[in-house]
A and B are shown apart, each in its own frame.
Chain A
Amino acid sequence: MTITSLPAPAQAPATPAQHTEELGLRESATFDRATIADIQRAAATGVYDIRGWGAKRKVPHFDDLLFLGASMSRYPLEGYREKCDTDVVLGDRHASRPLHLQTPVTIAGMSFGALSANAKEALGRGASEVGTSTTTGDGGMTPEERGQSKHLVYQYLPSRYGMNPDDLRKADAIEIVLGQGAKPGGGGMLLGQKITERVAGMRTLPVGIDQRSASRHPDWTGPDDLEIKIGELREITDWKTPIYVKIGASRPYYDTALAVKAGADVVVVDGMQGGTAATQQVFIENVGIPTLAAIPQAVQALQELGVHRKVQLIVSGGIRTGADVAKAMALGADAVAIGTAALIALGDNDPRYAAEYAALGSAAGYYDDFQDGRDPAGITTQDPELSSRLDPVEGGRRLANYLRVLTMEAQTIARACGKSHLHNLEPEDLVALTIEASAMARVPLAGTSWIPGAK
């Protein structure tokens, strides 16, 4: 949020002394300054806060895990000499044309509308350069995006904005979206500022309205219907195209099992830290479970059904480093997806826009008003002047660099653990730093053999 919506005081009060600690002032842990600002904002405006990004609260995460590395009984691989493969095949369970990606780091679904056309193009360029996939979003497929993306995943969402069989047949994979980690159980939202003529046209909506999209699919409910729906999409695409099912992490054990039974080729699990373009803050911060807690549950479901590695698992929500990639894969993921980190690689929250963030009542590192359409970095906007600031070629190059770093970092860790492929990482390679992370990730607390809750 920003504080711009607060009514400006008639006369600015003199700035008080900032030596709060020397004065012995005590900040409340319950009513901290952000909470106080939220209450003041609500009282001033009468509407809840809508913002972008994912959960900002601290939750158990990949930071709470460590790799053990090689030792007497495990041989490491030579850092720059011995091969450590990173490729991944997605969707070979039922589809005759599965995806074969060179790195397991994919780009998550983010709509044209939420993002500028230049940002979408940059994502396509960067991903294609390193041989990975990008994903459309709640608003259909643009020709720019199809053109620039070697591997393009086409989202099938409750709103069905821009959904059509021609684009469906052009897609390299179809992702049926049930939910998103930032808002399991919530529909999309795009505020009027971003509904330009082109965005409105693609969604068949009047220009400039506040668009709230549906949270339930219009023509199926529940796992039995989903199975029939997947059958229909397979029939339309002649069983060529892989079908993913994306779920927001809430009950990932059951949702994964039901997605598998419904016939999914790939299950995408998005944890509560996962980004969003616009959602109520109360939703982002209070609904869903952390990525770390979701992975072992999803993997357990796949293993019990005998389809781990046959139905691939893509994990998203708070992936930032190659270590995060390696940890997600060691816990059993086949690939990961990134949203927020990809936008940062393009230039989101760059300190060089510090003055403009300040003018919007925010700061570099804090800016989350993706819903507002005034992004100084030209990414989450439809304003032509702002979006022209993002050069899609340069943005693509930066993203490709970042994706290479993530991949090389993950390889560094895998080699240290003696693995010749990222997929050979396993829970055995991990320990946890906290009891919470140990219980959620189901790996032992470091220095012990204890996993809380394990039987």
Chain B
Amino acid sequence: MVTLTAPETSTDTNAEAAQHAASTDSFSVDLAGSPVRELNQALHNAVDGQSWTVANPEGKHSLAVGIDARVSVTINGHAGYYAAGMHQKGDVTINGNAGVGLAENIMSGRVHVKGDASQSAAATGHGGLVVIDGNASARCGISMKGVDIVVGGNIGHMSAFMAQAGRLVVCGDAGEALGDSIYEARIYVKGTVASLGADCIEKPLKEEHLAELGELLAAAGRTDNPADFKRYGSARNLYHFSVHNSTSY
């Protein structure tokens, strides 16, 4: 098991009593002295209401992956690949940067990165909210399937590639080929878009869009004005094979 240091709200040493009190427990884990395996196993055994603080992550991979309970995890430092991968229900906050595949295939819950995120942030996410205060690199939201993503800074090229569902909000600029081969996901960008990918077009920003954008920005704790954004989505011209589209593929 995890090398648990100083549970803050429980001084129980009796195992049964500890379990009883578990739902309100806070734990801290120092990854300088204990392996990632133990952290993840403890998180998989965790129950709703627990909270965890992780020290010295030092860019290790697969931190806090596969969470499936209403727990809250704070990682103090930088995370490597796939932090909070396949996340469900809980809250994960990273006080640092995150590597490739942050919150990949997230289903529900919330993941918040205070720094920047590398490539493929929230890739294939099916639900939940991913907030990146800094910039996100290439392929942010690639193949997204229902997740909501709010990026405070810029995003890299090929973001929202084949994006199927969900919403991507970018408060900075977007790189080349935004939304290439996009399906039904909606993209909102406040800054410039270097270029749009195949079948991705600008669309009118109507009342309903301003409303949902406002909610997303508020959920991410941002104060940007929804009216300053532009909306992008699928032209739906590539939904069926056609010989006339052969130059677009």
Q: Collect the chain A residues with CB atoms within 8 Å of residue B133's CB.
A: none
Q: Judging by beta carbons under 8 Å apart, are B82 and A232 in contact?
A: yes
Which residue of A192, A210, A218 is within 8 Å of B142 (Cβ)? A218
Q: Judging by beta carbons under 8 Å apart, are B124 and A218 in contact?
A: yes
Question: For the complex, is B187 an interface residue (Cβ under 8 Å from A)?
Answer: no
Q: How large is the interface on A (under 10, 10 to 19, 20 to 34, 35 or more residues)?
A: 20 to 34
Task: Report B56 CB to chain A, min CB distance, Å.
Answer: 18
Which residue on chain A has the smallest CB distance to residue B162? A214
Q: Judging by beta carbons under 8 Å apart, are B66 and A219 in contact?
A: no
Q: Collect the chain A residues with CB atoms within 8 Å of residue B100's CB.
A: 219-220, 225
Q: Judging by beta carbons under 8 Å apart, are A165 and B82 in contact?
A: no
User: Given contacts A160-B124, A218-B124, is CB(A231)–CB(B61) below 8 Å?
Assistant: yes
Q: Judging by beta carbons under 8 Å apart, are A219 and B124 in contact?
A: yes
Task: Determine the distance from Cα of A231 to Cα of B145 in the docked complex, in whole angstroms.
Answer: 24
Task: Report A450 CB to chain B, min CB distance, Å.
Answer: 48
Question: For the complex, is A4 an interface residue (Cβ under 8 Å from B)?
Answer: no
Question: For the complex, is A159 an interface residue (Cβ under 8 Å from B)?
Answer: yes
Question: For the complex, is B44 an interface residue (Cβ under 8 Å from A)?
Answer: yes
Q: Which of B41-87 contact A (CB under 8 A)?
A: 41, 44, 61-62, 65-66, 68, 80-82, 85-86
User: Given contacts A214-B162, A219-B120, A238-B44, is CB(A47)–CB(B105) below 8 Å?
Assistant: no
Q: Collect the chain A residues with CB atoms within 8 Å of residue B123's CB.
A: 160, 218-219
Q: Which of A157-174 contact B (CB under 8 A)?
A: 159-160, 163-166, 168
Question: For the complex, is A434 an interface residue (Cβ under 8 Å from B)?
Answer: no
Task: Report B71 CB to chain A, min CB distance, Å.
Answer: 15
Q: Collect the chain A residues with CB atoms within 8 Å of residue B107's CB.
A: 164-165
Q: Collect the chain A residues with CB atoms within 8 Å of residue B124's CB.
A: 160, 163, 218-219
Question: For the complex, is B230 an interface residue (Cβ under 8 Å from A)?
Answer: no
Q: Judging by beta carbons under 8 Å apart, are A159 and B143 in contact?
A: yes
Q: Judging by beta carbons under 8 Å apart, are A165 and B105 in contact?
A: yes
Which residue on chain B has the smallest CB distance to residue A189? B241
Q: Collect the chain A residues with CB atoms within 8 Å of residue B146's CB.
A: 204
Task: Report A237 CB to chain B, min CB distance, Å.
Answer: 8
Which residue of B41, B44, B62, B143 is within 8 Å of A218 (Cβ)? B143
Task: Determine the distance from Cα of A415 to Cα of B205 in the docked complex, in whole angstroms.
Answer: 73
Which residue of A210, A214, A220 is within 8 Å of B239 (Cβ)? A210
Q: Judging by beta carbons under 8 Å apart, are B105 and A160 in contact?
A: yes
Task: Report B128 CB to chain A, min CB distance, Å.
Answer: 12
Q: Collect the chain A residues with CB atoms within 8 Å of residue B222's CB.
A: none
| 1/0 contact string of A210-238 vs chain B (CB within 8 Å) | 10001000111000010011011001111
Which residue on chain A has the smallest CB distance to residue B121? A219
Which residue on chain A has the smallest CB distance to residue B122? A219
Q: Collect the chain A residues with CB atoms within 8 Å of residue B65's CB.
A: 232, 235-236
Question: For the complex, is B110 an interface residue (Cβ under 8 Å from A)?
Answer: no
Q: Judging by beta carbons under 8 Å apart, are B86 and A168 in contact?
A: yes
Q: Judging by beta carbons under 8 Å apart, are A160 and B143 in contact?
A: yes
Q: Which of B113-165 contact A (CB under 8 A)?
A: 119-120, 123-124, 126, 139, 142-143, 145-146, 161-162, 164-165
Task: Report A129 CB to chain B, min CB distance, Å.
Answer: 33
Question: For the complex, is A361 an interface residue (Cβ under 8 Å from B)?
Answer: no
Q: Judging by beta carbons under 8 Å apart, are B240 and A210 in contact?
A: yes
Which residue of B101, B165, B239 is within 8 Å of A219 (Cβ)? B101
Which residue on chain B has the smallest CB distance to residue A159? B143
Q: Collect the chain A residues with CB atoms within 8 Å of residue B243's CB.
A: 45-47
| 1/0 contact string of B12-38 vs chain A (CB within 8 Å) | 000000000000000000000000110
Q: Judging by beta carbons under 8 Å apart, are B62 and A205 in contact?
A: no
User: Given contacts A165-B86, A218-B124, is CB(A228)–CB(B62) below 8 Å?
Assistant: yes
Which residue of B37, B41, B61, B239 is within 8 Å of A232 (Cβ)? B61
Task: Determine the distance from Cα of A203 to Cα of B145 in the docked complex, in whole angstroms.
Answer: 8
Task: Determine the distance from Cα of A203 to Cα of B126 in the docked complex, in whole angstroms.
Answer: 10
Q: Judging by beta carbons under 8 Å apart, are B165 and A204 in contact?
A: yes
Question: For the complex, is A209 an interface residue (Cβ under 8 Å from B)?
Answer: yes
Which residue of B81, B85, B164 is within 8 Å of A225 (Cβ)? B81
Q: Collect the chain B residues with CB atoms within 8 Å of residue A237's CB.
A: 66
Task: Report B63 CB to chain A, min CB distance, Å.
Answer: 9
Which residue of A205, A210, A238 is within 8 Å of B41 (Cβ)? A238
Q: Collect the chain A residues with CB atoms within 8 Å of residue B240's CB.
A: 192, 209-210
Which residue of A160, A214, A218, A228 is within 8 Å of B61 (Cβ)? A228
Question: For the complex, is A206 an interface residue (Cβ under 8 Å from B)?
Answer: yes
| 1/0 contact string of B84-105 vs chain A (CB within 8 Å) | 0110100000000000110011
Q: Judging by beta carbons under 8 Å apart, are B126 and A164 in contact?
A: yes
Task: Report B5 CB to chain A, min CB distance, Å.
Answer: 22
Task: Determine the distance from Cα of A298 to Cα of B61 in the docked complex, in whole angstroms.
Answer: 30
Q: Collect the chain B residues with CB atoms within 8 Å of residue A192's CB.
A: 240
Q: Collect the chain A residues with CB atoms within 8 Å of residue B101's CB.
A: 219-220, 229, 232
Task: Determine the distance from Cα of A238 to Cα of B36 in the docked complex, in whole angstroms.
Answer: 11
Q: Judging by beta carbons under 8 Å apart, are B41 and A231 in contact?
A: no
Q: Judging by beta carbons under 8 Å apart, are A228 and B82 in contact?
A: yes
Task: Determine the distance from Cα of A394 to Cα of B51 in the docked complex, in whole angstroms.
Answer: 53
Task: Determine the distance from Cα of A236 to Cα of B101 in the docked complex, in whole angstroms.
Answer: 15
Question: For the complex, is B184 an interface residue (Cβ under 8 Å from A)?
Answer: yes
Q: Which of A186-213 contact B (CB under 8 A)?
A: 191-192, 203-206, 209-210
Task: Determine the distance from Cα of A237 to Cα of B142 in the docked complex, in whole angstroms.
Answer: 24
User: Given contacts A219-B120, A219-B124, is CB(A232)–CB(B143) below 8 Å?
Assistant: no
Q: Judging by beta carbons under 8 Å apart, are A214 and B82 in contact?
A: no
Q: Which of A19-60 contact B (CB under 8 A)?
A: 45-47
Top 9 closest pairs, chain A to chain B, by CB: A236-B66, A219-B101, A46-B243, A160-B124, A165-B86, A219-B120, A209-B239, A204-B145, A232-B82
Q: List 10 A-B contacts (CB under 8 A).
A: A210-B240, A218-B139, A219-B100, A219-B120, A220-B101, A228-B61, A232-B61, A238-B40, A238-B41, A238-B44
11 further A-B contacts with Cβ under 8 Å, apart from A165-B107, A219-B104, are: A46-B243, A164-B86, A164-B107, A166-B68, A204-B146, A206-B183, A228-B61, A232-B101, A235-B65, A236-B86, A239-B37
